[in-house]
Amino acid sequence: MVMRFAIVIAVLFFGFVFMFYDSGNSAIRPIAGKVTDPILLPVIEKFADAVDASPSQPNPRMQLGMTYEGAGLSQLAEATYAQYVEQFPERLIGWYRVAIVQHRMGEVEKAIQSLENATEVAGENMDAPHWQLGFWYIDVGNFEGAAKQVAIADSKRSNSVQVQIARGRIALETGDPESAIEILDNNRLIEQIPDGYVYQLLGRAYRATGDEEKSREAWNRAGQKKPKWADPWTKNVVTHTVGLNVLRQEILKHMRAGEFAMARQIIDEYLVFNKEALAIRRLDAACDLEQGKIDSALKKYAILLLENPKDTFTMRLLATLRMRTKQFQSPEEVAITKGILDTIFTMTPDDEKAKALLDRLPTK
Query: All domains of the chain, ordered by start, with CATH?
Result: 36-121 (1.25.40.10), 124-229 (1.25.40.10), 243-294 (no CATH), 308-364 (no CATH)
Calpha distance 98→233 (Å, rounded): 12
Calpha distance 223→279 (Å, rounded): 29
In this predicted structure, what is the pLDDT of residue 13? 46
User: Number of H helices and number of E strands within the chain?
Assistant: 21, 0
**pLDDT 10s digits, 119-166:** 999 988 899 999 999 999 999 999 999 999 999 999 999 999 999 999
CB 244 within 8 A of CB 40: yes
Half-sphere exposure at residue 280, Cβ-oriented, CA atoms within 13 angstroms: 23
Terminal alpha carbon distance of the chain = 110
CB 78 within 8 A of CB 101: yes
Backbone phi, then psi, for 247, in 5-degree steps? -60, -40
E strands, the chain, where?
none
Calpha distance 119→131 (Å, rounded): 10
The answer for residues whose C-beta is within 8 angstroms of residue 310's C-beta and 6 or more apart is 347
In this predicted structure, what is the pLDDT of residue 22? 53
The answer for residues whose C-beta is within 8 angstroms of residue 182's C-beta and 6 or more apart is none
Is the sign of the CA dihedral 105, 109, 110, 116 positive or negative?
A: positive
In this predicted structure, what is the pLDDT of residue 52? 97
Confidence at 14, pLDDT banded by 50, 70, 90: very low
User: By three-state DSSP, how is residue 319 classified?
Assistant: helix
Q: Which of 1-15, 171-185, 264-278 has the highest mean predicted lDDT (pLDDT)? A: 171-185
**pLDDT 10s digits, 311-341:** 999 999 999 999 999 999 999 999 999 999 9
The count of other CB atoms within 10 Å of the CB of residue 41 is 16
**pLDDT 10s digits, 37-90:** 898 999 999 999 999 999 999 999 999 999 999 999 999 999 999 999 999 999
The count of other CB atoms within 10 Å of the CB of residue 276 is 8
In this predicted structure, what is the pLDDT of residue 6? 47
Q: What is the CA 246 to chain-centroid distance, rounded?
A: 10
CB 222 within 8 A of CB 199: yes
The answer on pLDDT for 273 being more than 90 is no
